[in-house]
Amino acid sequence: MPIVGIDLGTTNSAIAVLDGRVPVLLADTNGQYILPSVVHITPQNKIVVGSEAEAAKVAMPARTVSTVKRHMGQDEQLLLGPHRLLPEEITALILKELKIRAQAHYGLTDQDPLEAVITVPAYFTDQQRRATKRAGELAGLVVERIINEPTAAALAFGLGRKDQRGHVIIYDLGGGTFDVSIVEMFDGILEVKASRGNSHLGGEDFDWLIVDYLADIVKEQSGIDPLDDLRAKALLKQHAEVAKKELSQAESAEINIPLLSFENDQPVGLSQVLGREDFEQMIAAHLEETMDCVRGVLEDAQFTAGEIDRIILVGGSTRIPKVAQLMQDFFGRVPRRDIDPDQAVALGASVQAGIKAGSISPEILIATDVAPFSMGVAAVAPVDGSPTPGVFSVIIPRNTTIPVRRTDQYFTHSPGQTAVSIEIYQGELEWAKQNHFLGEFVLDGIPENYKEAEQINVTFGYDLNGILEVTARAESNGKEMSIKVNDQIDRDSRHAFAASIKRLEGLQQGTAASFHQESLPLEWDSDDDDEDEDFAMEELTADEFVATLKRTLAEADELIGDLSKPQQKRMRRFMDKLTRAFEEDDLAQAEALLEELLDLLFRLEMGEWDES
Ligand code: ADP
Ligand code: MG
């Protein structure tokens, strides 16, 4: 079966294969290697992924989803136009787009199986990994392996450097996540010693800091808050990112947005210069946090800064000169630029794929990884001398090399106790409940013993994908129970999986949003809009929603004079309907109508709403 490596990034994704023993990225039909991780649904119900979707983001923010990776592992559905989708379903659309490249490369049809190694941040939890795996399966991939992004980068670096030995630090700062790993290299063996990170820290956060700064200026100058307006917010974000990137080259960047919003019929614009130092100040605390992780990971690996031989920077945000500077100051050596920060992870994933497929022999290259979190159970343990329940008892400590199996002994604590509850957590804090809950089960049938405590052995097995299996066994009678931590969720999720597939199929056929057809102006005030009653602009707060609603109605009011009489009539009716729904507190309806109105305004702006 052909096999690919996929870097599924917050901002950008890529797919790579081995060409012989050389990893290469696969391009789309336009020759683009990097796929922006953005999904858009057009008013005609067509799904587009990548740069086209990114381009549509400012004009149609409610029809566009970006940075979905930040939601991975959560149950809450996101909004893609009128559709509500789980994060892994939206991610599946990104993966499908990448899969097309592989199908073209290998000459495969949709029926042919395709295996994939998909990367995740080292600091992803069990839940987030599981969601990623499911996204792959929803996209029709056979997910061979989930590997950590910095480990993949190390593999890309290690290939062809068999005779190099030493300690490498991989600092990966992308759009949404930060990871840092220390890897020991010798004889083609890459041994990850320790990993740390933050799955909610990256270039996106820097953009939003600039957005806040710019929004304050607009507020001061015009009195309006551009963040209340969905489109103005998207526009600010876009300009913020451009300016941020410019500041990696230049000492200052100019931000010019002539038409950001309207206030009393007057256009509100923004013109501002941002200096590199101001920007560096804005992000200083974030960068300091990454350096805390660097210090922490050194400590975990028991190395000093002087023992690190090589610094590898990965991820788009490491192009910020201050990042390289901080690393250089800390380690006293210049970071390497010899692997492409945008490609390393995908290339490395394909190297892992090649190792799996046998085209790269493990004698040439092999990587071992570690568990980024401690894992254990809630137990009764002495605290200040007295037995206390709810203490986090670690079975697999952080940074243990994986795969790993460990068993610890526990005892029943009340006389005659016949059942114990095994509550499983991951994290580093003292109390079980302060950590991330993974699952639980009850082991019963323990012999009723009033004389002494019964011994229960708890075994944790943590596999190469970062997925945990737990077994508990009553020693005296051999009664045993075991769960794969994901089993619990998997059991009710067979249903969920089928539902996801159905929703994705619905998307492609456009069934769920039948009122959004090309003939939209005519069908527009027909009464079939209620079929989308579960539509909601979920990402907006109530205040944002009201502000967006008012802003959009005002915008429509401004435009109405330019319309033909029948268009004016339809527009009025539509606006009345929206106002009424809002006043009657029918929010689902109001939201659906608002979404349509936003689309319509966009079409008017683009001259696409004809008289038909
Ligand atoms: P991810 O792996 O999270 O998808 P990437 O590694 O592709 O992210 O990095 C994307 C991030 O890098 C974005 O936040 C983007 O704005 C930022 N970025 C890209 N180029 C530059 C640059 N020249 N200067 C500063 N930031 C940059
Ligand atoms: Mg990345």
Task: Please name the residue whose Cα sits nearest to atom 20 of ligand 1.
Answer: 316
Regarding the beta carbon of 439 and ligand 1, being less than 6 Å apart is answered: no
Ligand 1 pocket residue status of 322, Cβ below 6 Å: no
Q: Which residue is catalytic, options 57, 69, 99, 244?
A: 69
Q: Distance (Å, rounded) from C-alpha 511 to C-alpha 68?
A: 23
CA distances from 480 to 441, 459, 469, 470, 472 (A): 12, 11, 13, 11, 6
Query: In this structure, how many other beta carbons lie within 10 angstroms of the beta carbon of residue 530?
Result: 12
- Assess whether 7 carries a catalytic annotation: yes
Residue nearest to atom 25 of ligand 1 (CA): 245
Instruction: Please indicate whether residue 150, judged by its CB atom, sits closer than 6 Å to ligand 1.
Output: no
Report the distance separating Cα 185 and Cα 311, nearest Å.
Answer: 13
Tens of pLDDT along 341-384?
A: 999 999 999 999 999 999 998 888 989 999 989 999 999 988 89
Q: What per-residue confidence (pLDDT) applies to 539?
A: 52
Nearest ligand by distance to the CA of 342? 1
pLDDT of residue 104: 97
Residue 9 near ligand 1, beta carbon < 6 Å = yes
Helices (H) and strands (E) in the chain, counts: 14, 27
At 608 the pLDDT is 61
Q: Quote the CA–CA distance of 228 and 543 in Å, as a whole number.
A: 8
Token look-up 């103005």 returns 232
208 CB-near residues (< 8 Å, 6+ apart): 237, 240
- Residue whose Cα lies nearest atom 11 of ligand 1: it is 175
Decide if 557 is catalytic.
no
> How far, in Å, is the centroid of ligand 1 from the Cα of 500?
30
Report pLDDT for 490: 52
Going from the Cα of 63 to the center of ligand 1, the distance in angstroms, rounded, reads 23
Parts of the chain with a pLDDT under 50: 488-489, 491, 510-538, 611-612
Q: Which two structure tokens, joined as six digits, stand for 289?
A: 């946090």
**Residue 309, CA distances (Å) to 167, 221, 232, 334, 399 in order:** 5, 51, 47, 10, 21
Confidence (pTM): 0.80
Substitution site in 6, 12, 204 for ligand 1 pocket (most atoms within 8 Å of beta carbon): 12
Q: Which ligand is nearest to the CA of 313?
A: 1
| Tokens representing residue 449 in the block | 């013993």
Beta-sheet strands, E only, within 149-221: 166-173, 178-186, 189-198
The closest residue, in CA terms, to atom 12 on ligand 1 is 316
The architecture CATH gives domain 375-478: Sandwich (2.60)
User: Cβ neighbours of residue 487 under 8 Å, at least 6 residues apart?
Assistant: none
Closest ligand 1 atom number to CA of residue 173: 6
d(CA 524, CA 527): 8
What type of residue is 158? G
Identified catalytic residue from 88, 149, 207, 228: 149
Decide if 205 is catalytic. Answer: no
Close Cβ partners of 410 (under 8 Å, ≥ 6 residues apart) = 377, 379, 393, 420, 455, 456, 457, 458
Q: Is the dihedral of CA 539, 541, 546, 550 positive or negative?
A: negative
- At 219, which helix (H) or strand (E)? helix 203-222
Report which ligand 1 atom has the smallest distance to the Cα of 149.
2
Residue-range domain boundaries for the chain: 375-478, 528-605
Whether 69 sits among the annotated catalytic residues: the reply is yes
